[in-house]
Structure 1
């Protein structure tokens, strides 16, 4: 299908959001003065390799280090070793890399500085289980959490309390060296403990919190994991813990900044831009129904916004998998949005993950327009049945409306844009 002007505008907004969070742009301004001792660079996440390259290109003195990124997200570095591992379900390469990160920061002194580069995806890329647990245990837990409908905050709380590296444990291993965290946020609210499950920041949550989450979603865990949680022996490091070094934390990019970049593109095109929120959570189809209601009220009555306009939002929705489809929270949102809009004229939308991967697919997201449902029916696709099957990826691939970016080397979570380009059909 030939893209329309509105679809091209949607894609420009998405590209602008991704560009605003590129490490090459965001890392250099926050690099510190040279320490008296060594500079050791560590990190994990989908953007960590690109962040490491930005450090190398702008750091004049000696350095060494190791970062872990997702398969396909490595970029060439000369002084910092780049290791690839699996995401979203961890693998043995990630387990080995996590152990090596702990070794990398052993034996540092008070004059040394650890520069920690953390971005989204680091939770799965650093799967180092507590003693008595196995990688297979963490893999099964990860799969169960991803399918449960738990929020990213809830998932990371559980992960922190069954990890030998997250929940501040990597920071403790750096002691007495100073730690400077440069974080690229992919989580609603930009809480450092939820970015890669907080390996280098203290964690105020508890084992009891993790247990409550597992019981809420009826997720079974091995007896050894229960023992760690019920005894409190799996407790993460808390604020004020004497084992933690001096830690300084800065955000280099956030979902809000990405949305503001997209809004600037929309305004240049003559649209009013409204950012509804950068931390919207909930079931993807429920969020879609709510935003569809706002869009319909706008296009029909000129409330609460005047068209032409764009409604922008970010955050991280969830999908409770019940069908046999390929999942993907952004395509689930879009398919539910299309069903709720019922082909309303003048409304187009794009939703995608800024890392280029929606769910476990190498597809960022998709586009919808007023003709989406009609074209689906013409191909013999039943939109509601595909939604019930959690098969947004299959649906949009069949229509030719998938958005594919390839590895973006960044990650500031979900991006949603709804363009309303028609005048109200009723007086407000």
Structure 2
């Protein structure tokens, strides 16, 4: 593997992640002048509020909370930050709790119960900050009254291995939970609320990030039904009854646009994949590359997306298109992996492995696929580097690339050739970034 290209790709990714560092994003979004707080086009007189509550949830909840504490350093805050195991650290005023991701656990349920209890104390003269980031859907969970938590967890596992998109998965989650799909907006009413959102979904749709807890939901129980039918997911008894009752209008839908609770809510998007990609492109240009920012809307099966990047690499090497070399093509989004058997890896590692197969034998180019959160699937790697020599290097170690792609064993493949990209958990999450470099 070309070490110069590998180093360059790592530097470009690093710049992208730094641009969406959560505390930077929060401080960029809030402007305080004495006791006046400006958030987007809204102005708040902090003297008018009796209490200020903070509910942060997602992989970026701790640094987001820390930034808010610094901005409101002279005011008493009550609240909690719910984050993934291993990402917690002590804050000055806000309590920190850790829970599981991407499948909720008992701590997720406990966190949901504690949030409900705390928000029950909020009144009309109070202000609530919701600091929302990717991973919030599992880290903070509170199923509807008659839904078994065990069955709730089983459905999450089935959805995550089905190949369903994050929009589809969160559509189902919203209908299972009392805190998602506008549920927190209903819970906190009549207090005023400000939601600062770090997006981890394609298109930055607010009702999909963390399953849209503070915004109107456009999905329905009919959508829930269509999704489980499409992916042939068998529902366990309590969830099957909920869906049937929902379809028959016997239980409440998620909150829709026009509901008066949203008159007291304000939401602002403060960090996105596009911001990260812009920073990556700027860094690559500074390093001397001719750049193309392809798209921030990449979705679909990882192994199929990889074929497009391999085709772009071939076109660059043979024809110098779509730009002259040295070239850097950057894109972002969130792919899926449909798991048909076991294996160890993540969507970015699987994409890199498929790219390695498609680009076998090509020289003077390199591909990096990585998650901005530093964690690709249930592994300790952000992603992996691949080039035209990856398959041959693996074969020398007794590793069969095609066989390992079929068994979703991308982690041991790249571990075997030393091309996993490990950067640790970053504390942010704005989906994935794909970088193709051609000398």
- Bin for the TM-score computed over the shorter chain: over 0.9
Paired positions, count:
420
Instruction: Give CA deviations for 1:331-364 in whole Å, capped at 9, x if unaligned.
Output: 0000001111112111101111111111111211
Q: What is the deviation of 1:34? A: 4.8
Match in the other structure for 1:108: 122
Q: What is the deviation of 1:245? A: 4.7
Q: TM-score, normalised by structure 1?
A: 0.95
Q: What is the deviation of 1:231? A: 2.5
Match in the other structure for 1:426: none
Q: What is the deviation of 1:234? A: 4.9
2:71 maps to 1:58: yes
C-alpha distance in 1 between matches for 2:244 and 2:262: 24
C-alpha distance in 2 between matches for 1:234 and 1:333: 40
Match in the other structure for 2:12: 13
More displaced, 295-304 or 240-249? 240-249
C-alpha distance in 2 between matches for 1:331 and 1:100: 37
Candidates 84, 92, 97, aligned match of 1:78:
92
Cα 1:222–1:245 change in 2 (3 A) is: farther
C-alpha distance in 1 between matches for 2:262 and 2:23: 30
2:187 maps to 1:173: yes
2:367 maps to 1:354: no
Match in the other structure for 2:151: 137
More displaced, 230-239 or 306-315? 230-239
Instruction: Give CA deviations for 1:189-233 in whole Å, capped at 9, x if unaligned.
Output: 000111111111110110110110000000011232222223222
Q: TM-score, normalised by structure 2?
A: 0.93
More displaced, 58-67 or 32-41? 32-41
Candidates 206, 209, 219, aligned match of 1:195:
209
Candidates 192, 204, 209, aligned match of 2:218:
204
C-alpha distance in 2 between matches for 1:45 and 1:153: 17
Q: What is the deviation of 1:273? A: 1.5
C-alpha distance in 2 between matches for 1:352 and 1:315: 11
Q: What is the deviation of 1:108? A: 2.0
2:181 maps to 1:182: no
More displaced, 22-31 or 64-73? 22-31
C-alpha distance in 2 between matches for 1:34 and 1:58: 14
Match in the other structure for 2:310: 292
Which segments of 5 or more consecutive residues in structure 2 lack a partner in the other structure? 31-36, 38-43
Which runs of structure 2 are paired with 1:248-263 in the superposition (5 Å)?
A: 248-263=266-281
2:260 maps to 1:242: yes
Residues 334 and 367 of structure 1 are in contact (CA less than 8 Å); yes or no, is this contact kept in structure 2? yes
Q: What is the deviation of 1:110? A: 2.4
Match in the other structure for 1:45: 58
CA RMSD of aligned residues (A): 1.4
C-alpha distance in 2 between matches for 1:357 and 1:188: 18
Which SS does the other structure have where 1:132 is aligned? Answer: coil
More displaced, 35-44 or 113-122? 35-44
Q: What is the deviation of 1:133? A: 1.4
Candidates 125, 140, 144, aligned match of 1:126:
140
C-alpha distance in 1 between matches for 2:269 and 2:186: 21
C-alpha distance in 1 between matches for 2:380 and 2:119: 33
Match in the other structure for 2:322: 304
2:435 maps to 1:417: yes
More displaced, 356-365 or 57-66? 57-66
Which SS does the other structure have where 1:170 is aligned? Answer: helix
Instruction: Give CA deviations for 1:140-186 in whole Å, capped at 9, x if unaligned.
Output: 11111111000000000000001121111111111011111100011
C-alpha distance in 2 between matches for 1:296 and 1:249: 44
Residues 366 and 385 of structure 2 are in contact (CA less than 8 Å); yes or no, is this contact kept in structure 1? yes
Match in the other structure for 1:92: 106
Residues 172 and 245 of structure 1 are in contact (CA less than 8 Å); yes or no, is this contact kept in structure 2? no
Residues 127 and 135 of structure 1 are in contact (CA less than 8 Å); yes or no, is this contact kept in structure 2? no
Residues 167 and 236 of structure 1 are in contact (CA less than 8 Å); yes or no, is this contact kept in structure 2? yes
More displaced, 381-390 or 291-300? 291-300
C-alpha distance in 2 between matches for 1:269 and 1:296: 22
